[in-house]
Amino acid sequence: MFARAAASVAVTITLATIVLATIVLATITLATIDGAAAQTANQPPDTMAARVEACTPCHGNKGEGTSDVYFPRLAGKPAGYLYNQLLAFRSGRRKYPPMNYLLEFLPDPYLEAMAEYFAGEHPPLPQPAPSEVSKDVLAQGELLATSGDASRNIPACVSCHGPGLAGMQPGIPGLLGLRANYISAQLGAWRYGTRTAKSPDCMQQVAGHLTEADVTAVAAWLATRPAPTNPAPVPKGTYALPFGCGSQPN
């Protein structure tokens, strides 16, 4: 260690000259920048848009989603719902390592601000994708979504997600503008326990009653729905839920 250091004295001297030159240069640049005014000019924009640039390659600039079918749209979903998701990702209760990692050391009020930011963006909903499944399967999906299947204890999706499937403030998301792969991945995650919501986790109960075939059908049908004229979630308390959900306090 010391021998190596001694041998490098010569190198260090040349380096020292370079360093000195750099310092002189740096001082000149600093001198030209001069003062607090320039300091602020040389700052990132003081906006949420600039702060969430870490999110937009996956979720789109306004939270509209990207071409990746597993990356969900965020725009326009109820802020309370988005906030619950951010809390769940931060603690690892909902798992997606790249996001668990990004959020790990961010405080609650900041996550709330991010949720509100994306909730307040309203880029147009995407065109519904043409479906790859048969008419029968789509019909089965429609039946589950709009009427459920009482004999198997499956409530209609609309009973919670709303007649227009636009969701309800503050905690129930709309189900439109999502792609089939994403929807079935989420229902699968609830069935296998990698996604959980606040207790009582009503979605876990719903997903627990669905078969693989039900999931394919309902996901496919939801993804073919055209965008409604008003995609905004309805106000809190517009309708009563069939049973309690921890994410939707009465």
Partner 1 sequence: MGSKLSTALISIKLLALAALTTAAQAQDKSNDIIARGEYLARAGDCTACHTAPEGRLFAGGRAMPTPFGTLYTSNITPDLDTGIGKWSADDFYKTMHSGRFPDGGLIYPAMPFASYTKVTRADSDAIFAYLRSIAPVSQKNKPHELRFPYDNRQLILGWRTLFFSEGEFKPDPKKSAEWNRGAYLVEGLGHCGMCHSPINALGGTSQSDAFKGGLIPMQNWYAPSLTSNREAGLGDWSIKDITDLLQTGVSMRGVVYGPMAEVVHNSLQYLNDEDTKAMAVYLKGIAEPSPPPPASSTLPTTESSLLISLGKTVYDKHCASCHGTQGEGKPPHWPPLANNQSIEMQSAVNPIRMVLNGGYPPGTKGNPMPYGMPPFAGLLSDNEIAAVVSYIRTAWGNRGTPVSAREANELRSAPLN
Q: Should residue 91 be labelled a site residue for partner 1 when binding is judged by CB under 8 A?
A: yes
Q: How many CB atoms lie within 10 A of CB 220?
A: 22
**CA 236, 188, 213 angle in degrees (round to 5)?**
105
Phi/psi-derived region of residue 234, left when phi > 0, alpha when psi is between -120 and 50, beta in every other case: beta
Binding site partner of 109, from ligand HEC, partner 1, none, Cβ cut-off 5-8 A by kind: partner 1
99 is in an annotated binding site: yes
- Cα distances (angstroms) measured from residue 76 to each of 59, 88, 115, 131, 164: 13, 19, 10, 24, 15
Among 59, 87, 55, CA closest to 73: 59
Q: In the chain, what's the furthest Cα-to-Cα distance?
A: 86
Which of 31, 32, 35, 44: binder of partner 1 (CB under 8 A)?
A: 44
**By beta-carbon distance, which residue lies closest to ligand HEC?**
55
Binding site partner of 239, from ligand HEC, partner 1, none, Cβ cut-off 5-8 A by kind: none
Binding site partner of 101, from ligand HEC, partner 1, none, Cβ cut-off 5-8 A by kind: partner 1
**CA 139, 177, 94 angle in degrees (round to 5)?**
100
Distance between the two ends of the chain, CA-based, in angstroms? 68
Instruction: Name the token pair of 232.
Output: 């905004």
CB of 44 to partner 1, least distance (A): 5
Q: Should residue 107 be labelled a site residue for partner 1 when binding is judged by CB under 8 A?
A: yes
Q: Please check whether residue 213 is in contact with residue 171, taking contact to mean a CB–CB distance below 8 angstroms.
A: no
Which of 20, 27, 38, 54: binder of partner 1 (CB under 8 A)?
A: 54
161 is in an annotated binding site: yes
Distance CA(206)–CA(225), nearest Å, equals 21
CB of 173 to partner 1, least distance (A): 22
Q: Should residue 56 be labelled a site residue for partner 1 when binding is judged by CB under 8 A?
A: yes
CB of 184 to partner 1, least distance (A): 21
Q: How far, in whole angstroms, is CA 62 from its chain's centroid?
A: 12
Looking only at residues 60 through 89 of this chain, which bind partner 1 when binding is defined by CB under 8 A?
68
C-beta closer to ligand HEC: residue 21 or 212: 212
114 is in an annotated binding site: no
Angle formed by the axes of helices 212-224 and 180-192, nearest 10°: 150
Binding site partner of 157, from partner 1, ligand HEC, none, Cβ cut-off 5-8 A by kind: ligand HEC
C-beta closer to ligand HEC: residue 74 or 166: 74
- Contact residues toward partner 1 (CB under 8 A) are 4-5, 7-8, 11-12, 15, 22, 26, 42-44, 50-58, 68, 91-93, 97-98, 100-107, 109-110, 113
**Residues of the binding site for heme c:** 55, 58-59, 99, 157, 160-161, 203
